[in-house]
Amino acid sequence: MPTLAIVGAGPGMGLAIARTFGNRGFGIALIARTKEKLQTLADQLGQEGIKAAAFPADVMDRASLTTALDAATAHFGGIDVLEYSPAPHSPVPGLAMAAASEVTVDNLQPQIEYTLYGAVAAAQAILPAMRKAGAGTLLFTTGGGSVSPVPAFGNVNAAAAALRNWVINLHNELADTGVHAAHVAINTWIGDGGPPGFPTATPEQIAPLYWDLHERNHRSEVFFNG
């Protein structure tokens, strides 16, 4: 059974992506900080006939993230697809937003730790096996500000842009190896309750992009505008 590992799994995009892959025969490794919430998702997917398991980890603790991915690999026999998208709205200490003119080393560093370093750690945990197998997909998600920055999110957008740059560079390096890396920039509000006039989309509308990137194995980036 092929396996998808979702880092930052939650009841919105994570669940929609899990269903998109799970309904096509994938096992799902769910990774996030809260064990109870993960288990609820795993049980929900199980009731839908999708094999899923929970592996708690904090992306700010790179050792725990590596351990979780190693455990998922052992449980499922390998990881064929990684999707990395820790929720930007999670109440993580030290992750306060700062406007572009107010960005400091102190308020930027946690964003870099959360967004970029976590992604690099996740990739390094599974990329060697993918290289050896000559197959695999690495997908990384940010908001639209990684491409078109918004002044109010100065530190958040800078970290996301760094992740985007690295992913596209990784895509270029891995060309012709059978391993595919791609970046997804979501430039909409996901679900209800967005700012007036801001485009919205449901997780179910966005999730098929991830399957397309995996199945067609071509583009380095998708910019979703709704």
Q: Does 119 map to a domain?
A: yes
Nearest to 2 by CA among 82, 72, 79, 83: 79
Residue 169 sits in a domain whose CATH number is: 3.40.50.720
Where in the sequence is the domain holding 8, given as residue range(s)?
A: 3-194+220-224
Q: Check residue 100 and report its DSSP letter.
A: G
Asked if residue 208 is part of any domain, the answer here is no
- For the cut 60, the answer to whether the pLDDT of residue 89 exceeds it is no
pLDDT over 60 at 20, yes or no: yes
Q: How confident is the model at residue 94 (pLDDT cuts 50, 70, 90)?
A: low
Average pLDDT over the chain, rounded to whole? Answer: 92
Enclosing H/E stretch for 76: helix 62-76
User: Per mean pLDDT, which range of 57-66, 81-90, 97-106, 189-198 is the poorest?
Assistant: 189-198
Our count of domains for the chain comes to 1
Helix (H, G, I), strand (E, B) or coil at 123: helix
Residue 166 has what pLDDT? 98
- The answer to whether the CB of 28 falls within 8 A of the CB of 7 is no
Phi, psi of 141 (to 5 degrees): -115, 140
Within 10 angstroms of residue 132's Cβ, the number of other Cβ atoms is 10
Is residue 69 included in any domain, yes or no? yes
Element (H, E) at 84: strand 81-84
Q: Does the residue 183 lie in any domain?
A: yes
Quick one: what percent of the chain has pLDDT higher than 70? 93
Position 206 in a domain: no
Determine the pLDDT at residue 218: 82
Report if residue 201 sits inside a domain.
no
Q: Is there a contact between 140 and 108 (Cβ–Cβ < 8 Å)?
A: no
Q: Domain for residue 124, yes or no?
A: yes
Would 166 be classed as within a structural domain? yes
